Amino acid sequence: MREINLDRLFADFEAASAPTFRPPDISDLQRRMRRRRSWRSLLAGLVVLLLTGPGVYTTAGLDADRDPPDPTPSPAPDGQVIERKVNPVGVAGSLRELRFVDARHGWALFDTCERTDDSRDCRRDLARTVDGGETWQRIPVPDAVNRPRQEWPVHLLAVDERIVTISIGGGYLVSTDGGASFTEHPQEAPPEATLLSGTTRSGYLLRCPGSDPLIRVDCPELALARIGAATPPTQPPVALSHDANLGLVEDGDGRLWVTVLQDGRLRTAVGADGAASWRQLPAVSGADKLLVSPDGRDAWLLGRRKGSNDLSDLKRIWRLVDDRWREQTELPSDTNSVTAVNDGLLVVTKVGGNLGYWTGERYIDVPEVRRPRFEGEELPSIEVLPDDTIVIYTRNTTTTLGVGTAQSRAWIRLNH
């Protein structure tokens, strides 16, 4: 997890599309840095919400007031991957974006409009699954979604199983009841449900003090804020400099983790009780990125190998033990991406396409998830949802879910 600006949100959505409050991949670091200059081609409004300061990242997920549904894995025989097809009846066009919010609930956006400028031939469809992709149901949406291709791309912004937004040129189509009904909102006035897709699970974000979340402003120092809250939360005991690389993560216990990367040192503050109380952790030289497990019990830092200036060479790793960061054995040299799951494990993807777990000392392969890579195909991205479900996105081909706990998981491959 690193920078969060508008780039980051929609670079993640686009990279996860097939699509993705993803978590970020090591292989995406350089690509995202290059995409900084292209933010004007992204969605306005909500996007600006995340452009309130460079280098801010958040995680989005389930409503903090709701317990995520219990994963219900049904393993295939002999460790085989369960194969499923994303093929709702009655949808038009190809799959543009696919977003899961927990082990059972996901949203899919289908599109024909990229191939035409004629509104008569333009159609987009939304579909929803409530059983982990085993079945899909087409969700009727207002005709406004069928606007032809315009300056702003169409994006699927999913908060949970009830709240979803389709952003289209000039506005937003929003449902807060699982797709039973939609409301339309202008680009300059997105509702709270849409804003939540760019914040932590409880609606926290970093922005310039007193600023409108939709207006990009520059300020010397950012502040912690919460969407829908009249009173600002207690500020963390670290300087949130506009020039630093800032991070914001919320775990399953409701704690907030704020990081400040500046001058080669990563500083971390942890807020509890609705950000009412804070404690600071020791600063670490050489660390670049914070990883926190969904339940908040495990925290890790990633850093570049000594002497390396490669932004994708995050192989050094520290683990939080008794409020101290202890350096662990380096990750495998061919690591492509890494993120944290529960039970003290990291999930690692490798350049060759393998996936496995890292215990802090050794790598454990998951052979059933291997798949051949096509020539020129991008490396997969990986995300861990608030209920500890692993999601592997392989652009334009498949999405794989790992449902369960620790190393005991059912693997479900959704073919596009």
Q: How far apart are CA 260 and CA 245, in angstroms?
A: 6
Q: How far apart are CA 144 and CA 109, in angstroms?
A: 14
Token representation of residue 357: 């777990």
3-state helix, strand, coil in the chain (%, to 5): 15, 35, 50
For residue 9, the 8-state DSSP code is H
For residue 134, the 8-state DSSP code is S
Those residues whose C-beta lies under 8 Å from the C-beta of residue 276, and which sit 6 or more positions away, are 233, 234
pLDDT at 245: 94
Those residues whose C-beta lies under 8 Å from the C-beta of residue 280, and which sit 6 or more positions away, are 237, 238, 267, 268, 269, 270
pLDDT at 3: 35
Our measurement of the distance from residue 337's CA atom to the centroid of its chain's CA atoms, rounded to an integer in Å, reads 14
Q: pLDDT tens for residues 371-414?
A: 766 666 677 889 999 999 999 988 767 899 999 999 999 999 99
Collapse the DSSP code of 361 into the 3-class scheme (helix H, G, I; strand E, B; otherwise coil) and give the result.
coil
Look up residue 400 and give its amino acid.
T
pTM of the entire predicted model:
0.79
Spatial contact of 267 and 245, defined as CB atoms under 8 Å apart: no
Our measurement of the distance from residue 109's CA atom to the centroid of its chain's CA atoms, rounded to an integer in Å, reads 17
Q: How far apart are CA 377 and CA 94, in angstroms?
A: 18
Spatial contact of 387 and 71, defined as CB atoms under 8 Å apart: yes
Those residues whose C-beta lies under 8 Å from the C-beta of residue 38, and which sit 6 or more positions away, are 7
pLDDT at 338: 93
Three-point CA angle 276, 244, 61, nearest 5°: 50
Burial of 161 (0-12, 13-18, 19+ CB in 10 A): buried
Token representation of residue 310: 């490669």
Our measurement of the distance from residue 31's CA atom to the centroid of its chain's CA atoms, rounded to an integer in Å, reads 16
Under-50 pLDDT residues of the chain: 1-73, 75, 77
Token representation of residue 84: 């499923």
Q: Which run of H or E residues covers position 49?
A: helix 46-50
Helices (H), 156-224: 192-195
The position carrying tokens 């300056």 is 151
Smallest Cα–Cα separation from 338: which of 381, 377, 306?
A: 381
pLDDT at 328: 93
pLDDT at 144: 77
Q: Where are the beta strands (DSSP E) in 169-228?
A: 171-175, 183-186, 204-207, 223-226
pLDDT at 191: 92
CATH code assigned to 6-415 = 2.130.10
Q: Are strands 124-129 and 137-139 parallel, antiparallel or unpaired?
A: antiparallel
Q: Which residues pair with 184 in a beta bridge?
A: 173
